[in-house]
Structures are given as structure tokens and as C-alpha cells.
Structure 1
Amino acid sequence: MQKLSLICFAMLMLGLSWGATAEEKRYISDSLITYVHSGPGSQYRIIGSLNAGDEVTLLDVNHDENYGQIRDSKGRIVWLPLDQLSPLPSLRVKLPELEQKVSSLTEQLHNIDESWNQRTAEMQQKVASSDDIIDELKHENEVLQHQLVVAQKKVNAVNQQQDDKQRAVILQWFMYGGGVAGSGLMLGLLLPHLIPSRKQKNRWMN
């Protein structure tokens, strides 16, 4: 009973190993050409060749001879050394993909470069516009400062004229007041002499 269990276990493991090796994708290594045989060994007849990078399907493995049974893209079932199989695509298969990636990255860099140049041009244009605005504001400031200086001079001239007029009015009033005072003084000096003489004349006539 124990032997039967071991036999069943061994058959199960064999089936699992068979299922694990069946229908596995493999790629011919980067050799220029690989010859395939009708059986698991170099003593079997060569029945064709495969190119480097060809995709094949691994069907079985002969560990004693280190050969693998594969099915190629033409549907042929042949044998070849396991060391000529690779689980990864060869460089010949990867090359177009790598070229596509390089082309895509180059295009992205080109787009980034164009975008950067456009942004740089826009920034330069904005800076140039800002410089023009600054120059205009400086010119307007200079004009306003000149106008302010002219206005201040005009105000000073008007103030000077106003001061001259005020001094002239004051001088006129001073002269007028002096004339009035002088006239009053003279009248005050003459009036006493005029009035007594009239009294004496009237008195003498009486």
C-alpha cells in the first residue's frame, strides 16, 4: 500500500513537471543560426535551422542529453540544445521596441524643448513689454516733474507779485495817511491865527 502511494506520488510529480514544461514560451539565443534535430541529441539528423530571436514553444525536456523539444512558428516539432533557448526575448526582438522607446523619448524631449523655448520667448516678450511700460512711466514722471517745477515757479512769481502789490497798497495808504496828518497839522497851526484876528477886527470896529 505504501509502495502504491509512492508510485502515485511520483506519477503526480511527473505530471506536474510535465505540465510545468509544456507550452512554455522560449526564444532562440543570440547566435546567428541554430540547427534543430529530429531527436534529443546531436546524433539525430539535422532537419532545419532557426534564426536568432525566433519565438518557439518548449514542449518537453530531456535532462540526460540537455535537449529541449520545441515547436517553431512553422509548426515543426524538433529538438535543440537547452543552452540555445532563452526565457527572454533576444536583442533582435527587443531592438525594435527599444528603438520605439528611444523615438518616443526623443519626441517627448523635442516637445519639452519646444515648450520651453515657447515659454522662454513668452517670458522675454513679457519682460520687453515691462521694459517699455517702465520707460513710459519714467518719461511721464519726468514730464510731471518738469510741470511741477514750472508750476512752482509760477506760484512763486504770483506770490512775489502779490507781495509787491500788498507793499504798494500799504505804501499808498501810508502816504495818504501821512498827507492827511500833515494837512491836519497845518490846519491846526493856521486855524488859531485866523480865528483871533477876526475877533480883534470885530472888536475894534465896535
Structure 2
Amino acid sequence: MYKKKLLLVFILFLASLAMISFAAFAADKYITDDLSVYLRRGPGTQYGLIGSLKSGDKVTELETSSDGKYTRIKDDRNRISWVESELLTNSPSLKEQLPALEQQIAILQEKESSATQDKQTLIDDYTSQLTIANQKIAELEKQNNVLQTQTKEQVSQIESLNNQLDERRQSLMLTWFTRGGLVAGIGLILGLILPLVIPRRRKKDRWMS
């Protein structure tokens, strides 16, 4: 009875050790992407087939045969089987990488779309600013044209006033010259007539006395 208990404890100890070794050795592997793999009951072609896995399927590596040609695996259906070691790879399969790649593509597309949108927004801003600048330039040119027209009109008015002033000056000078000539003429006439008139009156007065 004691021997049976000791044997049972030893068996449990070996089972526990095997489970620990199994957990420590377990590693993720992937079926290569270029073919389908048949699962065998043991590490060799002499063992029967128990199923297959598609390329890219993820499996857990449990152990490797002594010659390294076969690997004991566990698939996602919890099947324990053997496959040729060369048909396994450490790199994630395209099937596993596809979601990450799609996510990266989506992120890049979003960044590209955002960059394109930012670029378009910047172009729209520059276009708007250019339009406003062109409108201001057109308004300034219009105001400049109005000012030039007003300046020309004012210059024309000033020239007209100067001409009128010159004409008035000439007319005034002509008037003064004319009046001066008349006064001089009248004075000359009076200067010639008065000496003739005044002596005669004096002579008459003398005769009458």
C-alpha cells in the first residue's frame, strides 16, 4: 500500500514536471504561407494523418523531435499533432499581419487625407487672401483714377481762373490806361484853353473899368 502511494506521488510529480516543461517550451509558430500542411500522429511519415492546416494558421510549438525534422504542435482546435519543422516559421503569417497592415494603411490614408485637406485649406486661404488683395487693389486703383480725374479738373479750374484773372488784369490795366489817357487829354485841352480864356476876361475887365 505504501509503495502504491509512493508510485502515485512519483507519477504526479512527473506529470507536473512534464506540464511545467510543456509550458516553458511552448512557443507560437505559423504555418508557412505557400502551402497546406498535413498533421501526423507522430514524428515521421510512418505515422498516420489526422488532419491539415491552411497556410498562415497560427499554432503553438510544444517540442521538437530528436532529429529536428518534426515538431509537435497544438492548433487553435486544441489538436496535438506533428508537422515537418521546415514548414513552420517564426514570423507572423500574412493572415496574421493583414489586420495590422490594413490598420497601417488606414492610418496612412487618414494622414494623407488630412494632409490633403490641410493643403487644400491652405490653398483656399491663400486664394481668399489673394482675392481680397485683388479687390483692395482694384478699389485703390479706382480711387486713384477718381483722384486723378479730380486733380485734372482742379488743375483745369485753376488754369481757367488764372486765365480769367489775367484777362481781368489786362482789362483793368486797359481801363486805367484809357482813363489816364482821357484825364491827360482833358488836362492838355484845359491847359490849352484856359490860358486863352482867362486873359481875355481880364482884358475885358480892364476895359470895363
What is residue 135 of structure 1 aligned with on the other side? 138
What is residue 155 of structure 1 aligned with on the other side? 158
Partner residue of 1:58 out of 56, 61, 68 = 61
What is residue 79 of structure 2 aligned with on the other side? 76
Contact 1:36/1:50, CA 8 A, preserved across alignment: yes
Q: Does 1:45 align with 2:64?
A: no
- SS at the partner of 1:73? coil
Q: Does 1:177 align with 2:180?
A: yes
Gaps of 5+ in 2: 1-20
Partner AA of 1:200 in structure 2: K
Percentage of identical aligned residues:
37
What is the TM-score with the length of structure 1 in the denominator?
A: 0.75
What is the TM-score with the length of structure 2 in the denominator?
A: 0.74
- SS at the partner of 1:39? coil
The CA RMSD measured in Å over matched residues stands at 2.8
Deviation at 1:164, TM superposition (A): 1.1
What is residue 104 of structure 2 aligned with on the other side? 101
Per the alignment, do residues 172 and 31 of structure 1 end up closer, same or farther by CA in structure 2, a change over 3 Å counting?
Answer: closer
Partner residue of 1:187 out of 184, 187, 190 = 190
Contact 2:57/2:95, CA 8 A, preserved across alignment: no
Moved more, 173-182 or 123-132: 123-132
Partner AA of 1:113 in structure 2: T
CA distance in 2, matches of 1:65, 1:141: 94
Deviation at 1:88, TM superposition (A): 0.3
Contact 1:33/1:50, CA 8 A, preserved across alignment: yes
Gaps of 5+ in 1: 1-17
What is residue 169 of structure 2 aligned with on the other side? 166
What is residue 120 of structure 1 aligned with on the other side? 123
CA distance in 1, matches of 2:34, 2:143: 81
- SS at the partner of 2:167? helix
What is residue 3 of structure 2 aligned with on the other side? none
- SS at the partner of 2:106? helix
State how many pairs are aligned: 189
Deviation at 1:87, TM superposition (A): 0.5
Partner residue of 2:90 out of 76, 87, 91 = 87
Moved more, 155-164 or 74-83: 74-83
Contact 1:41/1:65, CA 8 A, preserved across alignment: no
Deviation at 1:122, TM superposition (A): 4.0
- SS at the partner of 2:29? strand
Residues 66-118 of structure 1 show CA distances to partners (whole Å, capped at 9, x for unaligned) of: 22222222333332211011010112222233233333333433343344344
What is residue 11 of structure 1 aligned with on the other side? none
- SS at the partner of 2:28? strand
